[in-house]
């Protein structure tokens, strides 16, 4: 039976956060039965209309009912009706020519939703969204509001980063993709941008827990429930009061939400100082390095050094020098040797053209053994002869050369290490042993714990270094050691820092040998050049004897620059000019 033809209207409907094809206006009751028979058709009391999925298949099923209808964009609020970009017959069935004809084009494997019509074309790739459309002031305003969108003048196309937020906004505004395509795009985008939460601390914020959230749709609702929380817009991190309860609650919350958790909050120091084994284990390892024949002497000697609170570096060095001394007198008991025998050994060692420092360490190790372990009256310690001191001047770089070295470094961590050495005059071992808690942010100081000679001291924390450390703490999030190794738990190695300095000097065009200690020398010399009192420099460097600090008076330019060379004096008076012209 032929049905009475009356007008029916279809339109784009936004309902329950999804897009549908809405069906409205009067039609004989028996025809509503046909609409009810459509797959997934439903009735909305809110909108007083029937609706079916916004897909090509649903639209084609509706067309097969042979019901007369018109299509209008004026009903609803979410833009033009083009389900699955395939409503090829709508324009023919409506008097409203503002609804565009949309055709589906072939697409490559890495492209989703490549659509085209006279007014709009949208293509998604795994990195960007390309939109070509007829000019419309409202549409252009919307595209400009998207993150990092821009107009390509040459291609006459809008280019937008394919971030999840941009994708959601474009789908809501244009309904560019069908539901299957849209879900696939969101899923792929989320895989590239997973939800991650990072917990860490910084000396800049004592007694605070810092939180960074990354990934599409990351939730901040739990954090916003915490009183006195703050948000740092520049570094995009949350700052909340520290408490074990808050820390645990947030970890549990994001764990249940299936976030990837990066925990950079410091734990027990034993987790980081794993190389600092017990004294017993260290001594056992040291003793096992030497033959049983004279191990007892090494044991007694190393126990003495440990009681005297020598550093482990000194214990290793002194026991090694004593072992070579014992091996030189193979078959003889060193407890019965005389000071003459010891001097003969030092003479033989000097013939090998070893450095003065090695001779001095060897002599000190021997003297300590006979003074503290054996204490033999016939051994005259005062007769042991040290090598004559050779006064060598340290390698010094100009301020410009130091600047060139620092400018040649692009790695933030490497730059922070060199800033710390030069900015505070630290030894290599001291910068390696720096802990996060040693940075006294509010006092603008860095505390050096157990430096050379087992002495603590304070050095300045320069403003330039503080600004750099702000970036460093937000990027690297160190837990215990200020400068961590590749495992993000142990200390940075001395060889790595030496390599950084060496390569930076090479890039800066400096042919002289430059080491981390060279930067310490430069720190002291440049302070002296600027007129800083020698006593203050001594304290900053941690020198026991002022004479050690005075070595820099031989390389400073502060005094030399005030003295006029006799040659310049002659030249200024014109004597050398006359001689040259005669």
Residues 6 or more apart whose CB falls under 8 angstroms from that of 237 comprise 210, 211, 212, 231, 474
Q: State whether 349 and 453 are in the same domain.
A: no
In DSSP notation, 505-556 reads HHHTT--S---HHHHHHHHHHHHHHTT--HHHHHHHHT-SSHHHHGGGGGT-
421 and 542 assigned to the same domain:
yes
Same domain for 169 and 251: no
Q: Tell me which DSSP letter residue 497 carries.
A: H
Domain check: are 417 and 549 in the same one?
A: yes
Cβ within 8 Å of residue 127, ≥6 positions away: 161, 162
Backbone angles phi, psi at 126, to 5 degrees: -75, -5
Q: For 565, which DSSP code?
A: P
Give the count of domains, the chain: 5
> Cα–chain-centroid distance for residue 374?
54
DSSP state of 371: I
Name every residue whose Cβ is closer than 8 Å to that of residue 238 and which is 6 or more positions away in sequence: 210, 211, 212, 213, 220, 223, 229, 230, 231, 232
Q: Residue 263 forms beta bridges with which residues? A: 199
**Rounded-to-integer distance, Cα 407 and Cα 405, Å:** 5
Whether residue 180 sits in one domain with residue 323: no
CATH code of the domain in which 368 resides:
1.10.150.130
Residues marked as catalytic: 427, 452, 517, 520, 543, 552
- Cβ neighbour number for residue 480 with a 10 Å cutoff: 18
User: Which pLDDT belongs to residue 280?
Assistant: 77
**Of 58, 93, 128, which residue constitutes the final position of a domain?**
93
Range of the domain at 340: 279-383
Q: Do 407 and 550 belong together in one domain?
A: yes
Residues 477, 481, 484, 485: is their CA dihedral positive or negative? Answer: negative
- Do 516 and 413 sit in the same domain of this protein? yes
Final residue in a domain of this structure, among 40, 59, 93: 93
The answer on 436 and 537 residing in a single domain is yes
CA distances from 183 to 39, 104, 122, 177, 346 (A): 21, 19, 16, 9, 81
Same domain, 201 and 158: no
- Domain of residue 220, CATH code: 3.40.1170.30
CA-to-CA dists, residue 289 to 283, 285, 314, 318, 320, angstroms: 10, 7, 16, 14, 10
Specify the pLDDT at position 34.
Answer: 80
C-alpha distances in angstroms, 172 versus 19, 24, 58, 182, 341?
Answer: 9, 22, 20, 11, 93
Residue 211 domain flag = yes
Rounded to whole angstroms, what are the CA distances from 319 to 294, 306, 312, 375, 453? 12, 11, 11, 18, 18
Low-confidence ranges of the chain (pLDDT < 50): 1-5, 74-78, 84-111, 114-117, 275-276, 582
**Is 36 among the domain residues?**
yes
- The verdict on 495 and 358 lying in the same domain is no
Any domain includes 2: no
| pLDDT at residue number 272 | 73
Cα angle 263-268-271, degrees, rounded to a multiple of 5: 80
What's the rounded Cα separation, in Å, for the pair 438 and 449? 8
271 part of a folded domain: no
Q: Do 429 and 515 share a domain, yes or no?
A: yes
In angstroms, rounded to a whole number, what is the distance separating the alpha carbons of residues 148 and 145? 9
In a domain, residue 357? The reply is yes
The three-state secondary structure class of 191 is helix
Last residue of a domain, one of 190, 206, 234: 190
List the CATH number of the domain containing 542: 1.10.443.10
Pairing of strands 237-241, 128-133: unpaired
In a domain, 512, yes or no: yes
SS3 491: strand
In a domain, 120, yes or no: yes
Determine, yes or no, domain membership for 567.
no
* Confidence at residue 202, expressed as pLDDT on a 0 to 100 scale: 94
Residues 219 and 355 in one domain: no
């Amino acid at each position: 039976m032929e049905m009475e033809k009356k007008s029916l209207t279809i339109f784009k409907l936004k309902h329950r956060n999804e897009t549908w094809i809405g069906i409205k206006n009067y039609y004989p009751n028996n025809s509503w039965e046909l609409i009810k028979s459509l797959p997934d058709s439903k009735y909305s009391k809110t909108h007083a209309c029937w609706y079916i999925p916004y897909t090509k298949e649903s639209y084609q099923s509706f067309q097969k009912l042979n019901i007369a209808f018109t299509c209008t964009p004026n009903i609803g609020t979410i833009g033009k009706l083009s389900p699955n970009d395939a409503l090829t017959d709508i324009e023919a069935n409506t008097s409203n020519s503002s609804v565009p004809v949309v055709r589906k084009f072939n697409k490559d494997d890495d492209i989703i939703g490549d659509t085209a019509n006279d007014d709009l074309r949208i293509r998604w790739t795994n990195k960007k969204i390309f939109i070509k459309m007829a000019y419309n002031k409202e549409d252009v305003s919307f595209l400009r509001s998207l993150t990092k969108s821009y107009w390509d003048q040459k291609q006459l196309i809008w280019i937008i980063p394919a971030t999840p937020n941009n994708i959601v906004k474009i789908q809501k505004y244009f309904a560019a993709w069908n539901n299957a395509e849209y879900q696939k795009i969101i899923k792929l985008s989320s895989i590239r941008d997973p939800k991650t939460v990072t917990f860490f601390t910084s000396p800049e914020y004592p007694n605070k827990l810092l939180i960074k959230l990354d990934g599409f749709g990351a939730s901040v609702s739990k954090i916003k429930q915490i009183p006195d929380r703050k948000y740092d817009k520049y570094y995009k991190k949350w700052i909340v009061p520290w408490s074990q309860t808050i820390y645990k609650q947030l970890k549990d919350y994001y764990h249940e939400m299936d976030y990837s958790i990066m925990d950079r909050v410091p734990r027990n120091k034993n987790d980081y100082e794993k190389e600092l084994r017990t004294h017993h284990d260290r001594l056992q390892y040291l003793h096992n390095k030497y033959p049983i024949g004279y191990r007892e002497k090494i044991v007694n000697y190393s126990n003495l050094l440990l009681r005297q609170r020598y550093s482990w570096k000194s214990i290793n060095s002194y026991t090694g020098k004593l072992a070579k001394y014992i091996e030189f007198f193979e078959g003889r008991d060193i407890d019965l040797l005389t000071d003459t025998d010891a001097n003969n050994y030092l003479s033989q060692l000097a013939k090998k053209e070893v450095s003065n420092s090695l001779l001095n360490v060897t002599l000190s190790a021997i003297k300590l053994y006979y003074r503290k372990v054996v204490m033999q009256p016939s051994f005259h310690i005062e007769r042991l002869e040290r090598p004559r001191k050779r006064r060598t001047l340290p390698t010094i770089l100009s301020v410009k050369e130091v600047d060139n070295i620092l400018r040649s470094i692009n790695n933030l961590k490497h730059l922070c290490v060199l800033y710390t050495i030069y900015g505070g005059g630290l030894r290599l071992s001291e910068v390696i042993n720096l802990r996060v808690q040693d940075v006294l942010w509010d006092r603008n100081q860095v505390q050096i714990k157990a430096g050379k000679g087992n002495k603590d001291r304070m050095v300045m924390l320069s403003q330039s270094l503080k600004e750099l450390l702000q970036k460093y703490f937000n990027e690297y999030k160190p837990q215990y050691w200020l400068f961590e190794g590749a495992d993000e738990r142990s200390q940075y190695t001395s060889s790595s820092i030496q390599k950084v300095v060496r390569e930076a000097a090479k890039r800066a065009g400096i042919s002289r040998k430059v080491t981390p200690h060279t930067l310490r020398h430069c720190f002291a010399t440049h302070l002296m050049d600027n007129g800083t009192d020698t006593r203050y420099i001594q304290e900053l460097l941690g020198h026991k004897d002022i004479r050690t600090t005075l070595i820099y008076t031989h390389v400073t330019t502060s005094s030399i620059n005030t003295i006029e060379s006799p040659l310049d004096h002659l030249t200024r008076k014109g004597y050398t000019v006359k001689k040259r012209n005669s």
